[in-house]
Amino acid sequence: MGPGVPELPSPSAGPYSAETDDPLYDPSSSSAYSFGFDADGYNREESADDLGNVVGSYSYVDAAGVTRTVSYRAGQNLGFVPQANFLNSDLQVDIIYRKIHFLQPNLCNPTL
């Protein structure tokens, strides 16, 4: 760098750690959450406890105009478990898993 311009610190070599890298990290705060929304034929509700156990559901209107609802549970020792009365093949379960994984990857691989 030129004269009078301070050098930027080099990025850390290790993986990100909230405990050491996040100045707002508070180990005494709760990690539980809850949210929900409803918009344009799609809705979703989800909540999690302090241990990361998640329960939720979402609904959408399919191409035939039928409202489809998927409920799910997820957790470290559980993985991701979708439930819906219209799921009749492993392919449909895989598609739902991939959609949830895209929206919230930590639900599908809780060890990250």
Average pLDDT for 12-23: 73
pTM: 0.57
Sequence ranges of the domains in the chain: 30-108
Average pLDDT for 28-37: 91
Average pLDDT for 13-36: 81
Average pLDDT for 75-99: 73
**Contact by Cβ (8 Å): 107, 101:** yes
What's the pLDDT tens digit per position in 35-78?
999 998 899 999 999 999 999 999 998 888 888 899 999 998 88
Q: How far apart are CA 105 and CA 112, in angstroms?
A: 9
Q: Give the dihedral sign, CA 20/24/30/35.
A: negative
Two tokens at 67? 């409202």
